[in-house]
Chain A
């Protein structure tokens, strides 16, 4: 066993496309790293941004949101709403000091088991390069510091602007 960092990733799938792509990857015995754990939603539009924050706060190092390709949503166009939310969410977590790359959106149709497996493989490597997030640890540390704010969650340039009264 080597000591390389094994990230933990939560994946959200939609019932009609990407969950079926995951099923297909299984049926076709396409291998991908075991670092991802999937949650089934009916639609990527069900993806509440707080789910992502919850996953990161509970110890995940990355979150992958998957859905039908644009124009192929089984609920017509709800995947566009997922797209909007993910773009906003990535900006938001960036402001919280978390790399936006820890949240990724992937389109996979029910026929794209291979593609989904490849995307999972790539994402695991991306997160492995970023290293552990350890958000729960950082939050706890912030709590211990007593001022209710974790300096390590703040980007350095933002901290410079903050002048103590």
Chain B
């Protein structure tokens, strides 16, 4: 083999001790000396090992060598690129070297921390360094992509998280489109009576925010609406919203309420009143609804069913009823999107042994919230299903559908606290004896455990154990006419049968039934459970892997109101930062098609999940939109003509890295260096 031509590049290799994190397992000095000797033919001209490469002195070492030794490529062997890639790239940029000509290879997370044999670890570190050197030769100088940001924002979901996000953005003077599927914003919080641990009334703290959002000059509210189409990419999305017909002219309607007074059709309200109360066929979900305009529900409206009635139209003082209204499609331009579509409550019918739906006096947590609510179906009276009897013995069962491998194995976070709230409310309003059946008490946030102590002191009885069954089959005369809670009391170490009048099931939180479809529509991903996946579970909880799409509230995972509000505000802050800057910088990891080599086979077109590949019918070639491309590289791997190249992860870079990693493992066909 005679490929002994002068190496094109001048490469510096820097091996980090990371204190003793790397140096204790890898002979770093040996790696540095070896790299200079063995990789000299590849262009390595200088190597150093240093205590902490990420320190300012370590970075200055690189900068000095770039300037004085004229380095054209840099390889740093240290920690994971997810930690310090930016640090070393920035150092290179300061010294005038394009930052993308620097390669960080991991000899800490992938070598010193996971291996114990010093010799084997050192040999592997050498291979990793050789891989980095071979790869960096093919790195190209790149520039980050700059994408302009449209200043308007779409917020999907008008619960507390979405409202908070919308208000934060609108208050700073930027346009927001807030889309809500139901006739009113407010979400689940609007259904609650009190909020733990302060027991302030949910409506009292929520409705001012709803009114603010409804009347805000920078918020366009689309209730009774859904997003049907999302095109474009970060900075410039085109969103199509379907406005379902309200059959009400909102320009004329004053929200006086005569229409629903006069409407003769009563319908069970299974959304807002959780099936406990009634509404009319023309209705607003609750008195403080924002906007105040009602909707006509065509599935139940007598006029829509048999063509007669029109009572509402007859009595409307402003002629606002429009039976001929049709759905409308509105298109808006936005730069960023915040998804705050919330949760569904776990359907307690799925746990048949607890008898919900079969035993009259078994209630779900949401039903109980409505019972407590002064504006609810019983005007705030806690009564049994007959509507009059006050319960004397009440059981609250925690973890229904949560922490249970038959249903959801996660903790729904809020149920312990809301169960405590229920116990407190029952005690306060009925004086009944309350049992809470729990697995573990989880009261982890500010003032939560104090609330638990308070409920304990009020005399609520806590039984530790998962309830086996709720039944009405009495075995003893004292159980006659009662619901019997069968439970293993794991602290007392025995089985117990506890007769009660009323059972409240603290149902867990689940992703929306259509979460997967929504995720697909917006190009983000769901976890196996169905919660939307954040960019980083700790350090980036409101961003997603798709640029320009943010998430807030329970759509990301179970959480309480303060956490949802924080996420709404956090997502808004992230969006605001981009709007203020006017553009974002994206990593230049993108695929590009060389039109000269593209045969127009279109294999790549169907592979792209982001629809970033456009086919030009006239020229018979495909082209990649860099703003849409996320850089996964699937098309690069698939192109039969090799016409697609992926920047930062090109075939040359990866093939060379493979060669470098296997430098010692070619007993026969070695190149100009021999196996060690």
Contacts and interface: CB of A to CB of B under 8 A. Distances in A.
B128 interface: yes
Interface in B615-670: 630-634, 636-638, 646, 649, 651, 654-655, 657-659, 661-662, 665-669
Contact of B667 (A16, A22, A71, A137): A137
A67 to B, nearest CB: 11
Contacts of B34: none
Given A31-B116, A37-B131, A81-B607, A26 B80 contact: yes
Contacts of B108: 26
Interface residues of B, number: 56
B80 A37 contact: no
A54 B637 contact: no
Contacts of A37: 124, 127-128, 131, 661-662
A45 B634 contact: yes
Q: Taking each of B114, B117, B525, B630, which has the highest tally of chain A beta carbons within 10 Å of its own beta carbon?
A: B114
Contacts of A155: none
B121 interface: yes
A43 interface: yes
Interface stretch (B136-144, B246-254, B456-464, B526-534): B526-534
Interface in B491-539: 520, 523, 525-528, 533, 537
Interface string A17-40: 001101101110111111001111
Q: Taking each of B523, B651, B668, which has the highest tally of chain A beta carbons within 10 Å of its own beta carbon?
A: B668
Interface stretch (A55-63, A98-106, A156-164): A55-63
A151 interface: no
A51 B656 CA distance: 10
Contacts of A72: 525-528, 533
Nearest to A71: B528
Given A20-B82, A136-B667, A69 B528 contact: yes
Contacts of A42: 589, 631-633, 646, 649
A27 B111 contact: no
A46 B528 contact: no
Nearest to A82: B634
Nearest to A110: B537
A76 interface: yes
Nearest to B113: A26
B109 interface: yes
B115 interface: yes
A73 B527 CA distance: 9
B258 to A, nearest CB: 50
Interface of A is mostly: mixed
B662 A55 contact: yes
A7 to B, nearest CB: 10
B665 A140 contact: no
Nearest to B127: A37
A17 to B, nearest CB: 10
A55 B658 contact: yes
A33 B610 CA distance: 38
Interface string A45-89: 111111100110011100000000101111111100100010000
B109 A27 contact: yes
A76 B110 contact: no
Nearest to B636: A46
B609 A76 contact: yes
Contacts of B655: 51, 54
Contacts of B120: 34
B545 interface: yes
Q: Taking each of A48, A50, A137, which has the highest tally of chain B beta carbons within 10 Å of its own beta carbon?
A: A48
Contacts of A127: none
B536 to A, nearest CB: 9
Contacts of A48: 636-637, 651, 654
Contacts of B110: 22, 26, 38
Interface in B584-614: 589, 607, 609-610
A32 B111 CA distance: 10
Given A59-B667, A72-B525, A134-B667, A45 B637 contact: yes
A25 B121 contact: no
Given A26-B114, A34-B120, A34-B121, A39 B636 contact: no
B81 interface: yes
A32 B131 CA distance: 20
A134 B108 CA distance: 29
Interface of B: 80-82, 106, 108-111, 113-117, 120-121, 123-124, 127-128, 131, 520, 523, 525-528, 533, 537, 545, 589, 607, 609-610, 630-634, 636-638, 646, 649, 651, 654-655, 657-659, 661-662, 665-669
Interface of A: 8, 10, 16, 19-20, 22-23, 25-27, 29-34, 37-43, 45-51, 54-55, 58-60, 69, 71-78, 81, 85, 110, 117, 134, 136-137, 139-140
